[in-house]
A and B are shown apart, each in its own frame.
Chain A
Amino acid sequence: MALCSDRNISIHLGDILLRNPLVLASGVMGTSPTLLERIALAGAGAVTAKSCGPSPREGHPNPVMVAWEHGLLNAIGLTNPGAAEEVNLLIETKRLLKPLQVPVFASIFAGTEDEFGRVASLVAEGEPDLIEVNISCPNVHDDFGLPFAADAKSAAGVTRSVKAAVPGIPIAVKLAPNVPDIGRIARSVVDAGADVLTAINTMPGMVIDVNAAQPVLHNRTGGISGPALKPIALRCVAEIAKHVDVPIIGTGGVLTGQDAVAMLMAGATAVGVGSAFWYRGADAFKLINEELKAYMQVNGIHAVKDLVGRAL
């Protein structure tokens, strides 16, 4: 620890200062102010609340999550209390995290471009440091149609709607991996006003139990996260970084400091962490930060930003 203490790992995500590059990914644990406080105390640079939509949703019935050989598969189904109640969660979270100097990001989803704008302006009352626009949840096709992330025009339309609704708050648009040309979609949402990109959401997948002759998840399909997602995420982040200049929160399968370094080298400015809690335990953020510092020490890297895009 003492060996690494001289390494400053703070970063700027646009104008937002993070004490380290690790951001709690939306959808993991971010369902209450106290859980977000726990993650902040455990070493996150910033936390993202679970996505909220226009009205409360219970989500899908169980089973909602399983671990398989090379990753996790989940279909929680956007369980959330609705935007109006989310405001209270954000206000309380901001209050708890202020002394820790950990920024709080909101995450929103909706069914139409206009509705995205309405949810954003509601959530803005909670004064999040950034609003992440989830246009890519793979698990709610029945209610919300195909993710907006699949089409450059509608992705840009959502971005414009949110940007117009909350001119004073930076927005990050969360992109899906399963699109033919992620660079083009990144370009179009940045042209529409996105300040940050989050890449990537989970990859649609299915696990079948052969004894039951059934998909394991009640929703049948879910989103793949964890180790299987990492190479997909690295490719997407590198592709996006070639097309746009805005900061990227590189998310997907980061479990170790080396994984975080790889994500930065692919062009990410910050690094999303989620499934690592399952693989590495409650200390995941602390461990990844220590490993990142150790890598920087050994390789003579003085600032995290010096790693960004190195492998491009």
Chain B
Amino acid sequence: MAGPFSVRHVTSISKINENTIWLTFDGNISGTPGQFVMAWLPEIGEKPFSIASMDPFSLLVVDVGPFSHAMHQLKPGDSLWIKGPLGHGFTLEGDHLLLVGGGYGSAPLLSLAKAARAQGKNVDVCLGAQTEQGLLLADEFRNVGCQVAFTTEDGSWGSKGVVTIIVEQALQDANIDMLYACGPVGMLSALAILCRAHHINYQLSWEAHMRCGMGLCGSCEVPQSFDLALPVGWLACYDGPVFIHRWDDRSNLSLYKTQ
């Protein structure tokens, strides 16, 4: 055994916007959309990243802190150490899907959209961001045959406002079987409330401060105050990052108390 981490080499880097890159690595990774890896750069640190593409293995990296800044300095041929895929990803079900991405939350949704389109499913996508430049991967979603709608908080592209406005419209206009989302915690909480009101099944990918990535340290607990349907003591790295809620599914209740 080589060790807990496997080494990947950067094969190409493409700039998505002024602080976001798409990093492609050698080889593929077998996992499901929504799963994540722990990425380690020795002497710099280790952070979780959702998998942006399985084949070839790719990550979407926004320059937001010391670690992602170091990732932005990687050149073709450079090494990245990864552990994973980890956690539980999205489950494809239903025929008409609505995907909601907030900012760089688009990353894990693109591979989900590809998988859904490959099975002939109808996929609508709602993307929201603060400004036009924060709307990521819109062309890539269109290229695989998704309908894409936009909102920006400053009104620089699409409707002005938050993404839940166009989501609510989409839920009224179409018979959606499952809503999938990834993005900021506030957006996910708002979507959970919206899905409750419309009785829509949903799969939300939660972001939390992950440390061990193995379900043992307790750092990444997502409280029930964020979504009343979450089981008590739910850990993003271990039980998630994707939380699946189906309104007719009571199977969780014997194991965990829900409120």
Contacts and interface: CB of A to CB of B under 8 A. Distances in A.
Interface of A: 28-32, 34-39, 41-42, 50, 59, 61-69, 72, 74, 76, 79, 207-212, 214, 216, 218, 274-275, 277-278, 282-283
Interface in B1-37: 1-5, 7
Interface of B: 1-5, 7, 38, 40, 42-43, 45-47, 79, 81, 83, 211-219, 221, 223-224, 231-233, 235, 238-239, 255-257
Given A32-B221, A282-B239, A61 B81 contact: no
Contact of B216 (A74, A211, A218): A74
Given A38-B231, A38-B232, A207-B4, A79 B46 contact: no
Contact of A76 (B212, B231, B256): B212
A82 B2 CA distance: 39
B43 A214 contact: yes
Nearest to A59: B211
Given A59-B211, A69-B1, 4 more contacts: A29-B215, A39-B233, A64-B211, A64-B217
Given A63-B46, A216-B5, A38 B256 contact: yes
Nearest to A66: B4
A77 to B, nearest CB: 10
A68 B3 contact: yes
Contact of B214 (A32, A50, A67, A282): A67
B126 to A, nearest CB: 31
Contacts of A64: 211-212, 217
Nearest to B257: A41
A179 B175 CA distance: 66
Given A38-B233, A211-B79, A277 B215 contact: yes
Contacts of B216: 28-29, 65, 72, 74, 274-275, 277-278
Given A41-B232, A65-B212, A35 B218 contact: yes
A191 B193 CA distance: 58
Contacts of A210: 2-3
A283 B252 CA distance: 13
B42 A31 contact: no
A243 B48 CA distance: 47
Contact of A63 (B1, B40, B79, B232): B40
A63 B38 contact: yes
Contacts of B239: 282
Given A31-B219, A38-B233, A207-B3, A212 B214 contact: no
A239 to B, nearest CB: 28
B218 A29 contact: yes
Among B1, B46, B81, B256, max chain A CB count under 10 A is at B46
B47 A62 contact: yes
B45 A41 contact: no
A218 B2 CA distance: 19
Nearest to A38: B233
A209 B211 CA distance: 19
A136 B232 CA distance: 31
A274 B223 CA distance: 22
Q: 7 closest A-B pairs (Cβ-Cβ)?
A: A38-B233, A31-B218, A62-B46, A65-B212, A66-B4, A212-B42, A35-B233
A35 B221 contact: yes
A71 to B, nearest CB: 11
A121 to B, nearest CB: 26
A286 to B, nearest CB: 9
A209 B42 contact: yes
B4 A216 contact: yes
A37 B232 contact: yes
Contact of A212 (B47, B81, B213, B219): B81
A32 B233 contact: yes
Contacts of B5: 66, 209, 212, 216
Contact of B223 (A34, A72, A207, A277): A34
A277 B212 CA distance: 13
A69 B4 CA distance: 9
Contacts of B217: 28-29, 31, 64-65, 74, 76, 79
Given A38-B231, A62-B45, A282-B239, A74 B212 contact: yes
Contacts of B215: 29, 277-278, 282
Nearest to A73: B4
A9 to B, nearest CB: 20
A218 B44 CA distance: 9
23 contacts: A29-B217, A34-B221, A34-B223, A35-B221, A36-B233, A37-B257, A38-B231, A41-B232, A41-B255, A42-B255, A62-B47, A65-B217, A66-B5, A68-B1, A69-B1, A72-B214, A74-B216, A207-B3, A212-B81, A214-B42, A275-B216, A278-B215, A282-B239
Contact of A209 (B81, B224, B235): B81
Contacts of A31: 217-219, 221
